[in-house]
Amino acid sequence: MRWTFGVAPLPESIALAEKMRSVAGLVLSLDAAHPALGRLLAALDDAEAALRAVAPGDPTPRLGPDAPPEHRVYIDHARDVGDFNPCFPTYGIHVDGDHHASGTVRFPLVYEGPPGLVHGGYLALLFDAVVQHHNCDVGLAGKTTSLTIRYRRPTPLLVELAFEIERSVADGRILSTARLARDGVVLCEAEVSAVAGVRTALPEASPRRRGA
């Protein structure tokens, strides 16, 4: 049984995340300012003002049966967080049972660190995201307690990369080892440990308010 906690993102959130990554990458590539930037900033100012007027006033997530209505809705972070949050990378993943998963990822320009290469922090984020995606899809997940990463070779932007995950569970702990490779050459490896949580112990995640 898949592990979920929270509500699904709005379709507009998914469309916006991809557009924000694309536009930000284009802006980072510019040699000079362009009138389109001024128009974009003005449109964003208008959107920010309009959305601030209707968004909940308290950023605390709305959890538990007695959560105040002024708290914000909590979006399910079990899997594919990059689909609705542009700060996370997007990836494709195939879960092959409890012990193995694999997938692909392509890092756009917004995740650059050294010239033409992925910032190491985003590689750690990728490993944590795909490992927890695997955990949630097979129905036993929990908070990450440690993540160690070994950078073996520079990881390039804008090319398809492949990852593999091996997973085991013992004594209430989930241990996953993962590696990221290009054309069979390993670029980095990670070991991720998580506590095996109990789904029924989670507080209630409130649904979206009607008419919101």
pLDDT at 211 over 80: no
What is the rounded CA–CA span in Å between residue 205 and residue 20?
27
What is the rounded CA–CA span in Å between residue 118 and residue 112?
5
What is the rounded CA–CA span in Å between residue 165 and residue 181?
12
pLDDT at 60 over 70: yes
159 in a structural domain: yes
Q: What is the pLDDT of residue 201?
A: 84
Q: What is the pLDDT of residue 198?
A: 87
Q: What is the pLDDT of residue 1?
A: 78
SS3 143: coil
**CATH number of the domain within which 137 lies:** 3.10.129.10
Instruction: Please state whether beta strands 58-61 and 91-95 pair in parallel, antiparallel, or not at all (unpaired).
Output: unpaired
Q: What is the pLDDT of residue 200?
A: 82
| Helix ranges, 92-208 (H) | 120-137
pTM for the whole structure: 0.93
Question: Considering its fold, how many domains does the chain have in total?
Answer: 1
210 in a structural domain: no
pLDDT at 212 over 80: no
113 in a structural domain: yes
What residue numbers bound the domain in which 96 lies? 11-201
CB 95, CB 56: distance < 8 Å: no
The letter for the amino acid at 12 is: E
pLDDT at 40 over 80: yes
